[in-house]
Amino acid sequence: MSTALATPQAGVDIVTSDLNLLGPIVVATDGTASANAALKAAAQMADRTGAHVTVLAVLEPLPLVAADYGLLLPPAETDEARRQALAQRVRDQVTEVVGAHDHWDVQVRDGDPAAVIARVGRESKARMIIAGIGHHDLLDRMFGGETALHTLRLSRVPVLAVAPGFVSLPKRLAIAIDFSEPSIIAARTALALLPSVTMVYLVHVAPRLELQPEAYAAWMSDYSEGVEPAFDRVRARLEIPAGVSVETMTLTGKPTKALLEFVKSAHIDAIVTGSRGAGLVDRILVGSTATGLIRGAHCAVFAVPTPVGAPSRRLAEGMPDEIPENEWADALEAFTRRNAGRVATLEVDDPEIGAQAQQHDYPFLGAAYDHNDRRVELMLGDMENSTRHLTRGIGDVRHLDLLKDAAGRDWVLRIAHGSGQTILTLAR
């Protein structure tokens, strides 16, 4: 016997995008070759659309120098000299990479690069920010060198991150779809802002479940019956330009890996994704984050932020139910009564390192919430042996979501905390 997730829904809540089709393009550069691809992309985009271009460089503060009796501050004239040198280097870079563009606005601002780029994009009501994808090695991640990634996390306007080998604007898109309103907004935004597109794949990654092969095959058969109607509803919502072909694709496996493998095999030029995928359905139905895609992609990534004030999705045929904070203690007590003894999997999902399985196939013993410490306690283990159990304490709790299956049984409990989340999945 198999239990299928209820039919995936498209567009449960309507969200209004802040998309500005007539705004400028902000292209980020540090004056080095790592930004050449971004400048080329901005030039081609401006030629196609007539958009004004702002070339933005950010001057980071010099580190303080320790002395025997305190800290030595760099003289003020040093910053001004560095600022002028950076501006000249950027102007020379623009001329060398894309030719003379006297009408382009070159700006040098002070501060943290990602924060400044995101702020300028917001204040100028830019249609998009274009940045280069840097290196993906460990030192970049440790010391914050992934400017495109950090900008994406802070930006309220779309970010086009282009790889060093950029040649031309994307023609073949892979759009990650989880059938939520934000993912539809990402698709609509890409179609509106990328005039070069001729081929679009709407790509959905089916959820991964810990089931026996026969049970999983039966479950996927049932699940697939709801995917195609959901794709049809998504297509009906898109304003597909003339001459653009659209195909749908459902993948299985680890989400980010499955998407990147498809991108490579289908010769995709750019991946389109929402950049705030921390919701429960985002994690289960799509699972990939813009972080993983930017770190792993060898093509461009077009990330569209979820609009500010987007409503939470409610329980409706497989949608998660967000539990109000004043009900957390009672809800977890009731959850324990309903599910104690069911086999469960515990997973911790951190935006920096991805999903990490903590425990597989252990009986769920209980969950509780402490109002004073704002902590949730989860316990799994052997019900007949009190010495064999796992207790996980979770602080800084922000949200609790509960997803039920088609039969109305509890399926997934998500605890959002800090910038990550812990996911408890109950076996069927």
The least confident of 144-153, 308-317, 353-362 is: 308-317
The pLDDT of residue 11: 44
Q: What is the pLDDT of residues 3-55, one digit of tens each?
A: 233 344 444 343 445 567 789 999 999 999 989 999 999 999 999 999 999 99
The pLDDT of residue 108: 94
The mean of the pLDDT values for the chain is 78
25-157 and 172-304 share one CATH topology? Answer: yes
Confidence bin at 288 (pLDDT 50/70/90)? very low
- Who wins on pLDDT, 78 or 329? 329
Instruction: Indicate the residue type of 161.
Output: A
The pLDDT of residue 68: 53
Query: How large a percentage of the chain has pLDDT more than 70?
Result: 73
Identify the CA nearest to 308 among candidates 142, 134, 90, 156. 156
Number of other CB atoms surrounding residue 428 within 10 Å: 19
Confidence bin at 319 (pLDDT 50/70/90)? low
The pLDDT of residue 409: 87
The pLDDT of residue 313: 38
What fold characterizes domain 172-304?
Answer: Rossmann fold (3.40.50)
Q: Which helix (H) or strand (E) holds 184?
A: helix 181-193
The pLDDT of residue 134: 64
Burial of 253 (0-12, 13-18, 19+ CB in 10 A): middle
The least confident of 94-103, 282-291, 347-356 is: 282-291
Q: Which helix (H) or strand (E) holds 153?
A: helix 147-154
Q: Does domain 25-157 have CATH number 3.40.50.620?
A: yes
Most confident of 118-127, 319-328, 388-397: 118-127
Q: What is the CA radius of gyration of the chain?
A: 24
Where are the chain's structural domains? 25-157, 172-304, 321-426
Confidence bin at 281 (pLDDT 50/70/90)? very low
DSSP state letter for 260: H
Residue 138 has pLDDT above 80, yes or no: no
Q: For the whole model, what pTM was predicted?
A: 0.66
Tokens linked to 184:
């539809």
Q: What is the pLDDT of residues 191-224, one digit of tens each?
A: 999 999 999 999 998 766 666 677 767 766 777 7
Tokens linked to 84:
């002028």
- Who wins on pLDDT, 428 or 315? 428
- The average pLDDT across 292-301 equals 82
> d(Cα 80, Cα 98) in Å, to the nearest integer?
27
What fold characterizes domain 321-426?
Answer: Protein Yojf; Chain: A; (2.70.180)
